[in-house]
Amino acid sequence: MKRILTILASVAMVMAAVSCETEQTPSLSFGKSHYVLLADAPLTVELTTDIAPAADLTVELSFTGEAVEGTDYSVSAKSVVIPAGQVSGSITITPENNYTADKSIVISMILPAGYEAGDNATATVAVEAKELLIYSFEVAQANVADSYVVKLNLSGSVTGNDWVATSDMEIPYSVSPALTEALTVGAENFVVKKGENVAVLTVNAGEIEGDPQKFVVSVDEDKAGERFVAGSNASIELAVFGAMKLSKLVGTWEFVETLDLDELVFWFEEYYIAGDDTCNPELLPTHNEGFSFTISEEDGVYTLTPSAEGDWTKYFRECQIDYCAPIEDNLCSEGVVTGPYTTLENQMYVAEADGVSDLTYTWFSLSSVYRHFDANADATGTGAIAIANDIEGNLIILIKDYDQPPFGELWWDPGYDPDMFSFASRFVKAE
C-alpha cells in the first residue's frame, strides 16, 4: 500500500511539472516596430496580445522622443484597452503643428502583471514635417448668378505644385461684409480632398434687387494658423447678381465685341485651304457692329426682337424666349450643370478676353432662329443660347446649338464644338 501511494505521488508531481511547463505567459506587442505619422493624416497604432484576456485589459503607455506632445502631435489616449475576448486595441495619433523635420515619437508600454513583452516591445513613430502651404484664389474677381465654386489653389513651400493632401483637409474662411440672404455657402470651411491640391467652396446667390452685391472671401488666417501663407490672389471679390431672370433682361442690348476675336481667327486660319472659301475667316459671323436686340414682355410672354444689322441677324429672328434645360453635349470644356437652367463653364475665348475663368450661364430657348446662319426662312427652328453677367454686369452670350453652318467645314467635322462655335459675345445695355 505504501508503495502504491509513493507511485501515485510521483505521478502527481510529474503531471504538475508538465502543467507548469505547458502554461503560457501572455505577451504584448505593438503591431509594428516602426510607423510614419504623415503630415496631415492621423495614424492608428495597434497593440496586440497572443491570448485574449478574460476581462478588459488596460495597458498604460509612455511617450518620449524629440516630438513634443501637444505641439507636434496629440494622442487619443494614454493607454490601450484590449476588450475581453479580443486580441488587439489601438490609439490614434494626430499631427498638429509638426513643422520641423527629423522628429520621432517613441511609445513604450508599461507591462501589466502576468504579461511579458513580445517581439515589438516599443514602437518608434517618425513624424513627417508639415511644409508651409501657399494659397492663391484661382481668380481675383468672379460673379455669382446662381451658384459658383470658389477654388483655392495650394502649393507646398518645398514640393511646389506637386504637393497634394495626404488626407481630406479643411481650411477656414472669412467673408466681408457678413453673409446675408444674398449669398449663402455650402460648407463651414474650404475642403481639399485627399490626393488633391485645390480646395473648393460652393456659394449660392439669393434674390438680388438692383445693383449686384459684392462680398470678399479670404482665408481666415487666425483660425487657419501659421501653416498657410497667402500667394498672388489673397482673396476673391464675388459680385452677386442673383439668378438670371428674363425680367432683368427686358430692354435693348447692344453688341460690343466678339470675345478674343484675334485668337478665334488665328485658329480658323490654321485650317485655311487655298481656294476653299468655306475656310475664309471673313465668313465667320463676327461682323456685328451695330447689331442689337430688344427683349420685351407682355402678359408674361417675353419676345426677342433683333436689329437689322450685323451677322447675328443671320441667327436671330423675332421669337419668344424662355428658360431651357442645359444640353449636356453642348457644354464647354469641363462645364458642369449646376441647376435646372444653369451651367458653370469655362469657354476658352471668354476666359482669355476678360480673365474670368468660370461663369455661371443661364440657358434660354428661342422659339425660332435661323439655324444655318443664312437668314433663310426654310432653315428656321428652335435654338438655345446661354447668358451670363461679366464682372461689370454686361451680358456674355454664347450660341449653344445650330445646324451645320456655311463656313469652316473642317472645323465642323465631326460636329458642333461649343468651345469653337459659340461665338462668345459681349453686350451692354443701351442707356
Round the average pLDDT of the chain to a whole number and report it.
88
Q: Phi and psi for 419 in degrees, rounded to 5? A: -75, -35
**pLDDT of amino acid 20:** 44
Question: Which residues, at least 6 apart from 401, have a Cβ–Cβ distance to it below 8 Å?
Answer: 327, 330, 383, 384, 416
Q: CA 431 → CA 114, 156, 208, 253, 390, distances in Å?
A: 91, 49, 21, 9, 18
186: left (phi over 0), alpha (psi -120 to 50) or beta: alpha
Q: Among 98-102, 152-156, 356-360, which stretch is predicted with the lowest mean pLDDT?
A: 356-360
Q: Is 227 or 106 the better-scoring residue by pLDDT?
A: 106
**Residue 384: pLDDT above 90?**
yes
Q: Which carries the bigger pLDDT value, residue 280 or residue 195?
A: 195
Look-up of cell digits 429672328: 317
Q: Is residue 21 predicted with pLDDT exceeding 50? A: no
Q: Can you tell me the distance from the alpha carbon of 164 to that of 193, in angstroms, rounded to the nearest whole number?
A: 9
Cell of 90: 489601438
Q: How confident is the model at residue 225 (pLDDT cuts 50, 70, 90)?
A: confident
Partner residues linked to 198 by β-bridges: 153
Confidence of residue 242 (pLDDT cuts 50, 70, 90): confident
pLDDT exceeds 50 at position 399:
yes
Q: Is the pLDDT of residue 407 over 60?
A: yes
pLDDT higher than 60, residue 286: yes
Based on DSSP, count helices (H) and strands (E) in the chain, helices before strands.
Answer: 7, 30
Whether cis (ω within 30° of 0) applies to the bond prior to 414 is yes
Lowest average pLDDT, out of 34-38, 210-214, 230-234, 302-306, goes to: 210-214
Phi and psi dihedrals of 26, rounded to 5? Answer: -65, 150
Mean pLDDT of the 392-399 span: 90
**Cβ–Cβ < 8 Å for 361, 387:** yes
CA pair distance 241, 389, nearest whole angstrom: 8
302 near 322, Cβ under 8 Å?
Answer: yes
Per-residue model confidence (pLDDT) at position 59: 97
